[in-house]
Structure 1
Amino acid sequence: MINYVASLIVLVLLVSCDDGASLQKYYVDNQDNKNFISLDIPASVLSLKDNVSPEAEEALASLRKMNVLAFKVNEENMTEYKAEEQKVKAILKNKKFKDLMTIKDKGRNIILKYEGDPESIDEVVVYASDKEQGFALVRVLGDNMEPAKIMKLANSIADVDSDGFKQLENLIKK
């Protein structure tokens, strides 16, 4: 009887430690997958033009890095694309991710979610999908990111110096 109870306790502990698929595990599991492009981008790659608001500058200063995982769809991997898309959607349904914004435009869907306290965000997740292009999953990690300042930064995105992004785009095309 004691062995039965001990086994049951161990089983409960093991099950409680696994909260299902996590975003971090998904990144790690797929970073070497041939269908994915994986990038870790330090916040230092980004720079703002001189005429942006102080809030946008503070938001940029609160960023540490971005993890990008992109699935480029083609005729040969359409089945895998659909399966991976469902996995990501299931992960993002986790209650720890709170909705920030959803955009649907010309066949493209962009979902922004965050993790952390509404006054001090730890992580912003951007999921962008397009059935012809594939999907990208971006984790924006930072320290005490404030939603209002992050939104100012998003509004200033046209003012971001895109030289760093152009270099990254060239890497992806190769």
Structure 2
Amino acid sequence: MKKLAIVAALCLMLWSCNSEPTLQQYFVKNSESKDFIALDLTTDILRLNKSEISAEENAALETLKKMNILAYQADAKNPAKFEAERAKIKNILKNEKYQELIKVNSGKEGGAVYFVGEEDKIDEFVLFANKNDAGFAIVRVLGKNMSPNSIMTMLSVLNKANLDIEQLKPLQKMIPN
């Protein structure tokens, strides 16, 4: 009887383990790679004067935890690697947990915005942008109970922000001179 219980428990554990790759796993795997630029940002990058923002703006900011950015710079010498990495991201984002909000595509470049959670209780926004001759970037906006309204409010707060550009310096490698 014990053997049967152990076998059943093992089967249950194996069945419950999802072998599909996740965006979090992709970030962890590639954040130390020389082919990628990885940044973790908090709302501290905004360097906001709290007296200059409204209660609504402050409440929206409170729902935001952090942003993870992972960028891959395309290399004309190895376009197959770019295509392979981009295909991995697209495959991960096909998972039903990522609900697509908007998608734009113009042939050589495109982008999409996804969310994880419920429409009024969003835990993660994912922005995926790519350009054939430049590369791609994935931005994970992590929070708790975010809403589309709070995201729009946060975007308006950017106008009041005194951004800490020093934290964004690693991304300059991706921008052509």
Q: TM-score, normalised by structure 1?
A: 0.81
> Counterpart in 1 of 2:102?
101
Deviation at 1:80, TM superposition (A): 1.1
| 1:90 counterpart letter in structure 2 | N
> Counterpart in 2 of 1:42?
42
Question: What CA distance in whole angstroms lies between the structure 1 residues aligned with 2:93 and 2:8?
Answer: 31
Task: Give the percent of matched residue pairs that are identical in Structure 1 and Structure 2.
Answer: 33
Task: String of CA shifts for 1:103-150, please: whole Å, max 9, x gaps.
Answer: 346843221111112111111111111111111111111121122221
Deviation at 1:13, TM superposition (A): 3.1
> Counterpart in 2 of 1:29?
29
SS in 1 for 2:97: coil
SS in 1 for 2:32: coil
Q: Name which of structure 1's ranges 41-50 and 106-115 shifts more when overlaid on structure 2.
A: 41-50
> Counterpart in 2 of 1:172?
171
Q: Is the 8 A contact 1:52 1:159 kept in 2?
A: no
Deviation at 1:4, TM superposition (A): 9.3
Task: String of CA shifts for 1:37-57, please: whole Å, max 9, x gaps.
Answer: 111111221256888775444
> Counterpart in 1 of 2:125?
124
SS in 2 for 1:113: strand
> Counterpart in 2 of 1:135?
136
RMSD between superposed Cα atoms in Å: 3.0
> Counterpart in 1 of 2:10?
10
Question: What CA distance in whole angstroms lies between the structure 2 residues aligned with 1:47 and 1:134?
Answer: 29
Gapped runs of 5+ residues in structure 1? none
Question: What CA distance in whole angstroms lies between the structure 2 residues aligned with 1:126 and 1:118?
Answer: 16
Question: What CA distance in whole angstroms lies between the structure 2 residues aligned with 1:93 and 1:24?
Answer: 15
| 1:125 counterpart letter in structure 2 | V
| 1:16 counterpart letter in structure 2 | S
Question: What CA distance in whole angstroms lies between the structure 2 residues aligned with 1:130 and 1:138?
Answer: 15
Question: What CA distance in whole angstroms lies between the structure 2 residues aligned with 1:19 and 1:35?
Answer: 25
Question: What CA distance in whole angstroms lies between the structure 2 residues aligned with 1:160 and 1:19?
Answer: 43
SS in 1 for 2:78: helix
Gapped runs of 5+ residues in structure 2? none
SS in 2 for 1:163: coil
> Counterpart in 1 of 2:76?
75
